[in-house]
Chain A
């Protein structure tokens, strides 16, 4: 059973608009959560890491929240650019070390149009 569910599966927005990507998970324990950006045909690039209950992070136009009680995270992208077109992957780590397993969502495909 998939332990990390992302929604929507795909999303089209116009350049300049904001968007919100959702991640729900059932991984236990949930030590940390990461958001990655994957450009087509490329590897995964880390956007942010959330560790604590009710964590909030900001990385330029990207901001993220984590609610460990609800096992839910959101990724907000503000004022989207064409270069934001990519797949965004939510990943939950079950330990705070490299010994832990990473549990990957299938990703949300974001398309930004002019």
Chain B
């Protein structure tokens, strides 16, 4: 059974609309991350969290918010989706030595 589950698997959103991507982990990991993957580029860190009810900005946080209501759940929120946010989004969880990635959410903003 997948230890990091993302939903939805794919989504089409309208420019200016609100989008919420969800992530659930069963690894009992303290750390959770949101990355985006663009064709031809490595994954880039958007937001991360090391404890429930707290989030930190990653390398490219502009246009994104994050929410960590519990150790298991970590959401990425696009309040006003833009065309440039079309990408594949990956959630991950980790402890000090192990990283587990979800299968990704493919987001298309039109």
**B28-51 interface (Cβ within 8 A of A):** 29-31, 35, 40-45, 50
Contact A103 B104 (CB under 8 A): no
Of the residues A43, A102, A105, A106, contact of B4 by C-beta under 8 Å: A43
Contacts of A105 in B (CB 8 A): 42
Residue among A34, A99, A102 with the highest chain B CB neighbour number at 10 A: A102
The segment from B13-21, B70-78, B91-99 that touches chain A is B91-99
Answer yes or no: A64 CB below 8 A from chain B CBs: no
Residues in chain B near residue A89, CB distance under 8 A: 42-43
Is there a chain B Cβ closer than 8 Å to A44's Cβ?
yes
> Which residue from A34, A36, A97, A104 sits with its C-beta under 8 Å from B96?
A97
Contact A101 B40 (CB under 8 A): no
User: Which residue of chain B lies nearest to A90 when distances are taken between CB atoms in the complex?
Assistant: B42
Q: For A104, list chain B residues within 8 Å (CB).
A: 35, 42-44
Query: Bound state CA distance, A45 and B41, in angstroms?
Result: 18
Assess whether A42 is interfacial by the CB under 8 Å rule: yes
Q: Which of A33-55 contact B (CB under 8 A)?
A: 34, 36, 41-46, 49
Q: Which B residues lie at the A interface, using CB under 8 A?
A: 4, 29-31, 35, 40-45, 50, 59, 90, 92, 94-99, 101-104, 106
Q: 7 nearest interchain CB pairs?
A: A104-B42, A43-B101, A98-B31, A104-B43, A44-B101, A43-B103, A98-B94
30 residue pairs of the A-B complex, CB under 8 angstroms, read A2-B42, A36-B101, A42-B104, A43-B4, A43-B101, A43-B102, A43-B103, A43-B104, A44-B90, A45-B101, A49-B97, A89-B43, A96-B96, A97-B96, A98-B29, A98-B50, A98-B94, A98-B95, A99-B50, A101-B59, A102-B43, A102-B99, A103-B42, A104-B35, A104-B42, A104-B43, A104-B44, A105-B42, A106-B40, A107-B42
